[in-house]
Structure 1
Amino acid sequence: MEDQRQESQESQEPTTSGYKLPPWRKWLILFIVSWMTLVVTFSSTSLLPAAPNIASDLATTSEAIDITNAGVLLAMGFSSVLWSPVADLFGRRTAYNAAIFVLLVCTVGAALAVDMAMFTVFRILGGFTGTFFMVAGQTILADIFEPLVRGTAVGCFMVGSVSGPAIGPCIGGIIVTFAHWRIIFWLQVGMTALGLSLSLLFVPTIQQSKTGKETPSSVLAMFNPMRILRQMIYPNVLFAYLTCGLLAFFQYAILTSARSIFNPRFHLSTALVSGLFYLAPGSGFLVGSVVGGRLSDRAVRKWILRRNGVRLPQDRLNSGLLTLFLVLPVATLIFGWTLEEEVGGMPVPIISAFFAGVGLMGSFNGLNTYAAGTSIILLLLLSMLILMLLLEVRPHQRSEVIAGKYIVQYIFGAASSAAVVPMIDSIGVGLTFTIGGFLSLSLSLSLSRC
């Protein structure tokens, strides 16, 4: 039975010339795709400390800026509905570079905005490129890295996507303290231009376009979001999506609420000082991503040896049990309740935020690769490792499965950005983070029973 599973899995693993690229080219491509996720996630949070300054210059309110940021997150979530069909029609490399160029133009437009309407339009249009960089990046890595080292590669890839939301507010706080808020956008322009230059030079054409084979009706069908949303009919994929969504809710809950919690709790008066707090969860995101990726590959190799050469995609799930059921919930409870009860001073929530970041990304890393490399199967293991596993359950629908995950993830992120501060004001920071942690664990248990 195991041999049949292995044969089925191997038959579904797509063959690609990308495996034959020289190692230096593979790791340079890894840097490029990770850099672009850093750029788009940096842009989603770097304006948080500058919201009052932007509101003042554009004759609006900080609440309106927060709503715009939530709109950007929603646009990011649905960006692959637009760009993935473009990649199918014209080739992934062409679509990837076109999306970078659009982001570059929109960032310049936001930097030059003269009123709130212009600012909002360019911000949301730029957001519509967001998760395509993550979907295309993960698919590119699946094309060039063999399964036994793919976990390490994706773990390094996640460094960009997880560090951006954390270092964005920190750098934004520094800039807005000493310079004008528009400098934040011009920094993003430089970062995007660097990514476009490197991509044009080094990202290869692996997936060929399908131009010339489609009818008008088939082209329209490519833009039908149901091809992405129908992945949710599979229970384990649905619960993986929801678990990712709640993890994203937790991530943006920390990032969005930090200033409103820390400033009054520790009497902080400047964006610079409160912005430094983001280094704690950001460092945890980095450590959790890299270590989680290596542990994911290690778990795969260990179980291959135990089965005498048989590899099953759910083997990755074993690597995140410790971070999911111990590190993340314990760190979350300590973070929330020490702030609620005002004990432990500033070091305790900072340290707990670091370990919460480690636990969060250690849990994210494996699940994300699982849903795009073999057929939908029954999951009997307890875990929440999402980034690696979403790549290994449905290899011929990698982009659709990953795109669906990001749609759900950023819907939850947008909801968190808009709702977490009122929620904390209503029931307290301790209970807010306790509820979030409990829901994430409950969904992971449901996932294990699908």
Structure 2
Amino acid sequence: MGLSPMVWGPLGQVYGRRWTQIVSAVLFFAFSIGTALAPNLVSFFIFRVLTAFQGTSFLIVGASCIGDIYRPTERATALGWFLSGTLIGPAFGPFIGGIIVTFRTWRDIFWLQTALAGVGTALVFFLLPETIHHKRSAELAGLKTAEKVHKLWQWTNPWRVVRLYRYPNLLIVGLASSSLVWNMYSLLTPIRYVLNPRFHLTSPIQSGLFYIAPGCGYLLGTFFGGRWADYVVKKYIRKRGRRVSEDRLRSCLVAMGVVIPGCMLVYGWSIEKEKGGIPLPVIVMFLQGVAQLFCFPSLNTYCLDVMQGRSSEVVAGNYMIRYLFAALGTATCLPAIEAIGVGWFSTISAGFLVVSTLLTYATSVYGRGWRETIDEDRQEKKARHAHSDAEK
């Protein structure tokens, strides 16, 4: 999931949203069947990697569709609804999985995933129109084969996504998204291993119930987070007389810098010190779920706004870095908790969020200037190269 955005982002720009989504949906459906039928652990891992590679297409190209359709002052509201699915899935998935493995075989989890993938594929094929205004592939008409190959490599080279991080504002927003995903996965991943011993739970379905709290928080936040981000944009348009993309980032500062770190600290230390019983961690998990939906629409919509002509690639870069941190958080959270305790690990996660918030605030103030400086430097370099070529 961390590496595949470098593929899907450029493809969405070149061949359009519809066919990129259809291809990835069909492959996701096929690899889900492979996972359900996996005869051994090696093949299971291979098919899980392949489904993950396809799955990010929905997140990246789907967000780009919203950027194509909605005006900048409406995008966050639409994106809030879209993101609710991507966040509710990881929250309710373990709960449903806990029910399945308590009473049935684990393979039924992936047959359910296959069924959902089949429905998704049908919906994409029959209901998703092309939303991009200009496919780059249209520029290939009339070119020789060698020229087409050269152009396609220029447009789909994965390095294009990585190079976007020469813009400090995109790097900072990527780190801010990563701090939220780190928090999300490091909170959800060890629930069974942290809360089961703490509250003497004995079955997967019991620990799965804890995932309902953040899931309900994500669902409730859907109704307010995106609208709040759009409200802040409109507020600063009235104040400035024009829209500045970085103003949107101000809508997530309180939730990201105060609410979620506070929830993490209460969650971690209440578990560590065995205080508050079951209600306290459930409440703070719910609140941090709500707060996350006040952050993600703001950060994701900024990626759509800031470079409209390359929105798919900007979103891809953001997902690339956030899922690399998600992988890191998933892999390290349990060993870290065993080494230093859930309280100190939650404190580290809260610190990551606070630092990201300070950097995001700096971007909201100085980000426009950073962008313009880099764009001016690029234009000057192009002009010098053109002048040099003319002299030759």
Which TM-score applies when normalising by structure 1? 0.76
Using the alignment, how far apart are the partners of 1:184 and 1:89 within structure 2?
35
* Equivalent position of 1:311 in the other structure: 243
- Work out whether residues 239 and 444 of structure 1, in 8 Å CA contact, stay in contact via their aligned partners in 2: no
1:58-97 matches, within 5 Å, as 76-97=1-22
Corresponding position of 1:142: 67
> Offset of 1:158 from its aligned partner?
0.6
Contact 2:263 2:287 in 1 (8 A): yes
- Give the SS at the match of 1:434: helix
Alignment of 1:30-109 (within 5 A): 76-109=1-34
Contact 1:87–1:209 (CA under 8 A) maintained in structure 2: no
User: Within 2, Cα distance between the matches of 1:89 and 1:271?
Assistant: 45
1:118 to 43, 47, 55: 43
Aligned to 2:258: 326
Check conservation: 1:328, 1:358, Cα contact below 8 A.
no
Per-residue CA distance 1:56-86 (angstroms, 9 max, x = gap): xxxxxxxxxxxxxxxxxxxx12222223344
Inter-partner Cα distance in structure 2 for 1:90 and 1:228 = 16
Asked if the contact 1:263/1:269 (under 8 Å) is kept, the reply is yes
* Aligned partner (choices 263, 277, 281) of residue 345 of structure 1: 277
Q: Secondary structure of the equivalent of 1:387?
A: helix
Q: Percent identity?
A: 39
Cα displacement (A) at 1:91: 2.9
What residue identity is the alignment partner of 1:328?
Answer: I
Separation in 2, partners of 1:360, 1:438: 16
- The answer (yes or no) to whether the contact 2:15–2:137 under 8 Å persists in 1 is yes
Q: Secondary structure at the match of 2:73?
A: helix
**Aligned pairs (5 A) from 1:198-217:** 198-207=123-132, 208=135, 210=137, 212-213=140-141, 215-217=148-150
- Aligned-pair CA distance for 1:413: 0.5
Give the paired residue count.
355
- 1:354 partnered with 2:286: yes
Where in structure 2 are there 5+ consecutive unaligned residues? 142-146, 364-392
SS in structure 2 of the partner of residue 331 of structure 1: helix
Task: Return 214-223 or 184-193, whichever deviates more.
Answer: 214-223
* Structure 2 counterpart of 1:372: none
CA distance in 2, matches of 1:434, 1:357: 18
For the 8 Å contact 2:8–2:316, the answer to whether it is kept is no
In the alignment, residue 273 of structure 2 is paired with which amino acid? E
Q: In 1, distance between residues paired with 2:223 and 2:318? A: 21
- Please tell me whether the aligned partners of residues 263 and 285 of structure 2 are also in contact (alpha carbons under 8 angstroms): yes
Q: Is the 8 A contact 1:97 1:196 kept in 2?
A: yes
CA contact (8 A) 2:185 2:330 kept: yes
Larger radius of gyration: 2
Offset at residue 343 of structure 1 (A): 0.5
Deviation at residue 156 of structure 1 after TM alignment? 0.6
Separation of aligned partners in 2, 1:446 and 1:89: 33
Name the structure 2 match of 1:437.
Answer: 350
Residue 190 of structure 2 aligns to a residue in which SS?
Answer: helix
Q: Which residue is equivalent to 2:267?
A: 335
Which stretch shifts more, 80-89 or 279-288?
A: 80-89
Matches within 5 A, 1:290-439: 290-307=223-240, 309-366=241-298, 386-439=299-352
User: Which is bigger in relative contact order (C-alpha 8 A, separation at least 6)?
Assistant: 2
Equivalent position of 1:236 in the other structure? 169
Deviations 1:422-442 (A, max 9, x none): 000011101101111112211
1:173 paired residue number: 98
Contact 2:249 2:360 in 1 (8 A): no
CA shift, 1:220, in A, is 2.4
Structure 2 Cα separation of the partners of residues 294 and 446 of structure 1: 23
Q: Offset at 1:390?
A: 1.3
Q: CA deviation at 1:315?
A: 2.5
- Is the contact between residue 170 and residue 279 of structure 1 (CA under 8 Å) also seen in structure 2? yes
Deviations 1:44-66 (A, max 9, x none): xxxxxxxxxxxxxxxxxxxxxxx
What is the CA–CA distance in structure 1 between the aligned matches of 2:357 and 2:255, rounded to whole Å?
A: 13
Q: Counterpart amino acid of 1:320? A: C
The answer on whether the counterparts of 1:85 and 1:223 sit within 8 Å (CA) in structure 2 is: yes
Query: Normalization by structure 2: what TM-score?
Result: 0.87
Alignment CA distance shift 1:244-1:181 (3 Å): same
SS at match of 1:134: helix
Q: Structure 1, residues 238-276: CA drift from partner, whole Å, max 9, x if none?
A: 111112112111110011111101110000000001001
Kindly state the Cα deviation for residue 341 of structure 1 after the two structures are TM-superposed: 0.3
SS at match of 2:233: helix
User: 2:12–2:312: 8 Å Cα contact kept in structure 1?
Assistant: no
1:268-279 maps to which residues of 2 (within 5 A)? Answer: 268-279=201-212
Contact 1:89 1:210 in 2 (8 A): yes
Deviation of 1:235 (Å): 1.2
Q: Which SS does the other structure have where 1:172 is aligned?
A: helix
**2:86 pairs with one of 132, 145, 161:** 161
2:384 paired residue number: none
CA deviations 1:307-362 (Å, max 9, x no partner) are 3x422222222322331232112111111110010000010011011111222231
Q: Please state how far the C-alpha of 1:298 moved relative to its aligned partner.
A: 1.3
Unpaired runs of at least 5, structure 1: 1-75, 367-385
* Separation of aligned partners in 1, 2:5 and 2:256: 28
Shift of 1:215: 1.9
3-state DSSP of counterpart to 1:204: coil
SS of residue in 2 equivalent to 1:388: helix
RMSD: 1.6
